[in-house]
């Protein structure tokens, strides 16, 4: 039984690896406002309008225009970033779904086993202005 679960997990990882180079568009939505087009056309340079979100609200993180997470806005030096706080559909429980091999595998991962976390840790910030700005905040 455990061997079957392990094979399911390995199969899921192989599938993910095959799509790892596919580019997706990630968008951070700070807020929205709805107004009649007539009002929009009257806006000129320097016009200010308020969004529906408040300054402490989390922002939407979208992948290919699908909401996948919510995040807090972070400002580091002159750059804007985001800290993901919650993934859409993520359960608050600590246990993994026993019927989902990928969820079980991900539940057992920590930052040390995550290749993305490892790659980020190796970056010295020289080629990535956001990483450099974040490093400045930590020091």
**What is the number of structural domains in the chain?**
1
Instruction: Give whole-number Cα distances, 23 to 2, 19, 30, 120, in Å.
Output: 34, 9, 22, 18
For 50-95, what is each residue's pLDDT tens digit?
Answer: 888 888 899 999 999 999 999 999 988 899 999 999 999 865 444 4
Residue 136 placed within a domain: no
Residue 139 placed within a domain: no
Residue 13 placed within a domain: yes
Residue 25 placed within a domain: yes
Residue 12 placed within a domain: yes
Mean pLDDT of the region 43-55: 89
pTM here is 0.50
Residue 11: per-residue pLDDT? 74
What CATH number corresponds to the domain at position 57? Answer: 2.30.330.10
Residue 111: per-residue pLDDT? 46
Task: Answer yes or no: is pLDDT of 46 > 50.
Answer: yes
**Buried residues in 94-116 as b, exposed as e (16+ CB within 10 A):** eebeeeebbbbbeeeeeeeeeee
Mean pLDDT of the region 21-36: 90
Residue 101 placed within a domain: yes
């Amino acid at each position: 039984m455990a061997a079957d679960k392990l094979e399911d997990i390995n199969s899921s990882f192989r599938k993910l690896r095959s799509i790892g180079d596919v580019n997706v568009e990630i968008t951070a939505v700070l807020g929205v406002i709805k107004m009649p087009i007539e009002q929009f056309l009257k806006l000129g340079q320097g016009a200010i309008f308020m969004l529906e979100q408040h300054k402490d609200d989390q922002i939407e993180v979208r992948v290919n225009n699908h909401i996948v997470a919510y995040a807090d806005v972070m400002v580091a030096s002159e750059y804007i970033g985001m800290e993901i706080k919650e993934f859409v559909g993520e359960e608050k429980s600590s246990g993994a779904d026993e019927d989902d091999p990928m969820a079980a595998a991900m539940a057992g991962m920590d930052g040390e086993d995550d290749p993305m976390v490892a790659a980020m840790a190796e970056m010295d910030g020289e080629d990535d202005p956001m990483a450099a700005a974040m490093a400045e905040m930590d020091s």
